[in-house]
Amino acid sequence: MQVLQNQYCLGPVRPHHPGCRLSMKAPVRYDGTPNLCRGFLTQLEILFENNPGSCVSDKAKVGYLINHLTDKALLWATPLWENKKPIIYDYEGFTSELKRTFDPSRRATNAGRSLFHIKQGNRRVSDYAIEFKTLTSEVHWPNDVLTLAFTEGLNEALMFELAPLKLPEHLDHLVDFCIAMDDQIRDRRHSRDRPRRVLPPLPLVPRHTSTSGTPEPERTDLSVVEPMQIGRTGISEAERAHRRERGLCFYCAGAGHFRLQCPQRPRGGRGDTGKPGQRTPTSQVIGS
Name the amino acid, one letter, at 167.
Answer: L
Domain ranges of the chain: 1-105, 107-191, 235-266
Q: Name the band, by pLDDT with cuts 50, 70 and 90, for residue 174.
A: very high
Q: Give mean pLDDT, residues 242-252.
A: 83
pTM metric for this prediction = 0.43
Least confident of 190-199, 259-268, 269-278: 269-278
Residue 208 CA from chain centroid, whole number = 53
Q: Name the band, by pLDDT with cuts 50, 70 and 90, for residue 100.
A: confident
Q: Report whether pLDDT(19) > 90.
A: no
Q: Report whether pLDDT(6) > 60.
A: no
Q: Name the band, by pLDDT with cuts 50, 70 and 90, for residue 126.
A: very high
Q: Report whether pLDDT(81) > 90.
A: yes
b/e per residue 214-229 (b: at least 16 CB within 10 A): eeeeeeeeeeeebebb
Asked if residue 158 lies in contact with residue 181, where contact means CB atoms within 8 angstroms, the answer is yes
In this predicted model, what pLDDT tens digit does every residue of 227-240 receive, in sequence order?
454 445 557 788 88
Residue 123 has a pLDDT of: 93
Asked if residue 195 lies in contact with residue 206, where contact means CB atoms within 8 angstroms, the answer is no
Residue 239 has a pLDDT of: 84
Q: Report whether pLDDT(176) > 80.
A: yes
Give every CB contact of residue 161 below 8 A, 6+ residues apart in sequence: 181, 185
Name the amino acid, one letter, at 153.
Answer: G
Residue 245 has a pLDDT of: 85
- Output the 3-class SS for 12-72: CCCCCCCCCCCCCCCCCCECCCHHHHHHHHHHHHHHHHHCCCCECCHHHHHHHHHCCECHH
Q: How many CB atoms lie within 10 A of CB 40?
A: 23
Q: Give mean pLDDT, residues 65-83.
A: 93
Q: C-alpha dihedral over 68, 71, 76, 80, to 10 degrees?
A: 50
Write down the mean pLDDT value for the chain.
Answer: 77
Residue 268 has a pLDDT of: 59
Q: Report whether pLDDT(257) > 70.
A: yes
In this predicted model, what pLDDT tens digit does every residue of 110-123 receive, in sequence order?
788 888 889 999 99
Residue of 265, 262, 259, 260 whose CA lies nearest to 288: 265
Residue 137 has a pLDDT of: 82
Q: Name the band, by pLDDT with cuts 50, 70 and 90, for residue 284.
A: very low
- Angle (CA) 269-271-275 rounded to 5° is 85
Least confident of 18-22, 55-59, 101-105, 202-206: 18-22
Least confident of 86-100, 164-178, 215-229: 215-229
How many whole angstroms separate alpha carbon 51 and alpha carbon 41? Answer: 15
